[in-house]
Amino acid sequence: MKRDKLVFYFTLLAFFAVISSCSKEDVYNITPSGVKSDFTVAVSDLKLTGTGNAVNSAKVIWTFGDGKSSTELNPVHVYDPAINSTHKTDYVVQLTAFGAEGAVSFKERKITIDDPRPVSYFKYVLDELALTVKDSSYLTSSHLWDFGNKVTSTLASPTTVFPEIVPEPDKDKPGDFIEKPKEYKVMHTVTNSKGVRKDSVSLTIFPIPVADFTFEIDKNSPSTDPGRVVTFKNTGKNGTDFKWDFGDNTSSTSSNDVHTYNIKFSYKVTLTVSNPRRKVSVTKTVNLN
């Protein structure tokens, strides 16, 4: 254990010695296990979007030159507007990848932040049909939200409720109706005396899923002990994910399934149908006795 620690410490010392003698665009590697790092960045206003490429690494650390860091491979970072709203500021962005046996790979690039215009930055929670927005924009004097559902707001952190999905005729099955997911584009416009910025996000409202199924017991298979094979047909709707619990400690994620029971018995079978909006279940008894 002591020997491993000494190897690691000497490795780090050698690593930082190499760094001090290299340029800002070099990749620095101490790679007994072949770890390698690289990245690209896209800068828009005060927002930096990083895309990391770490080979054979178990951990990565980004530093953004402003005292902030991230362990995400593809981070989004917003620089402080109080620092960058009056003058250009240069930052050195670094990505360090750590591999096995003390392997380290280091990459850095210099970027310049210079934009006093407002920056739209927000998070949101979509619960069923209700949307709640939490605004964290910078340098803004006014807001305008357009939710795509004929509702607008000038609040910084507004809420809205999208309409329920309306059934429409099924073109493939005349006489039937279907409920299709509906997409909304939420637009956020922020302004100040220096200009205007816009940002948007697309949201999909899903219809409520319905869980139901039918089943048929095969009386002829297997021929040595008939009546143990059951065909299950999902007759629900609006689901994107499915889970069958056959009541014998086995399960399936298929939409429809054929299941063979080991013992003739009475089983409680549950089908769970879900989509990003909701999860629903139905349980029926399958009696093989």
**pLDDT over 90 (residue 173):** no
Q: What is the pTM of this model?
A: 0.58
C-alpha dihedral sign at 38, 43, 46, 51: negative
Q: Which of 93, 113, 133 is the last residue of a domain?
A: 113
Across the range 60-80, mean pLDDT stands at: 93
List the domain range (segments joined by +) for residue 145: 122-205
Across the range 173-196, mean pLDDT stands at: 89
The model's confidence at residue 156, banded by pLDDT at 50, 70 and 90, is very high
Question: Pairing relation of β-strands 36-44 and 27-30?
Answer: unpaired
**pLDDT over 80 (residue 277):** yes
Q: Which of 205, 233, 258 is the last residue of a domain?
A: 205
The model's confidence at residue 182, banded by pLDDT at 50, 70 and 90, is very high
Asked whether the beta carbons of 153 and 164 are under 8 A apart, the reply is no
**Whole-angstrom distance, CA of residue 60 vs CA of residue 264:** 54
**pLDDT over 70 (residue 252):** yes
The burial class, CB within 10 Å (0-12 / 13-18 / 19+), for 99 is buried
Do both 247 and 159 map to the same domain? no
Residue 181 maps to which CATH number? 2.60.40.10
The pLDDT assigned to 87 comes to 61
Do both 18 and 91 map to the same domain? yes
Q: Which of 169, 189, 205 is the last residue of a domain?
A: 205
Do both 17 and 64 map to the same domain? yes
